[in-house]
Amino acid sequence: MLFTETKLKGAFILDVELREDYRGGFARSFCAKEFEAHGIKPFVAQCNLSFNHKAGTLRGMHYQIAPACETKLVRCTKGAVYDVIIDLRPDSPTYKQHIGVELTESNRRALYVPQMFAHGYQTLTDDAEVMYQVSEFYTPNCERGARYNDPAFGIEWPHEVAVISEKDANWPLMETVPA
């Protein structure tokens, strides 16, 4: 696997090293030893699969607080998504900054999301599927979210939002969240 650290310390883009022959290809998508060598928490508590019917669907921006802060490894297994993470670590030099990465079934790219980063994505194709490896169990009382269109972050989504849950559309604005 090829690890590229982003401008947000601790967040990585992971590319597979594809080995191909007449049968097709093979690539490692997860290795605890390689994750540890890059300072990445390799523990997986849950694997989740998200199906999205319509291009323009937006899910996010989700995170969990202590004692259930989670890391995620996110990969698009069908179609394409624009995946975004926001650094919400108050002591970080990149606090409130974000990056966006296109994850597609053909580029096989993954995004590692550190603890206290909000995460979300917008589908670029119909019938997009996203797989998450998550380090902590879903803990409803620790669940939080940031508004996808909060001016505090300035995220430029590639398309108009076609579908979004009521919950995701109504996360509080950053200015109203207690420090």
Domain boundaries, the chain: 2-174
Q: Name the residues annotated as catalytic.
A: 62, 132
CATH number of 2-174: 2.60.120.10
pLDDT at 178: 60
User: Residue 31 has which token pair?
Assistant: 């290795």
> The whole model's pTM is what?
0.94
- Mean residue pLDDT of the chain comes to 95
CA 18/CA 40 separation, integer angstroms: 22
Check residue 42 and report its DSSP letter.
-
Residues 175, 121, 16, 31, CA torsion sign? positive
* pLDDT of the residue at 42: 86
Tokens of 72: 């995620």
pLDDT tens-place string over residues 19-65: 999 999 999 999 999 999 999 988 999 999 999 999 999 999 999 99
Per-residue pLDDT averaged across 134-138, rounded?
Answer: 96
**Residue 141 predicted with pLDDT over 70:** yes
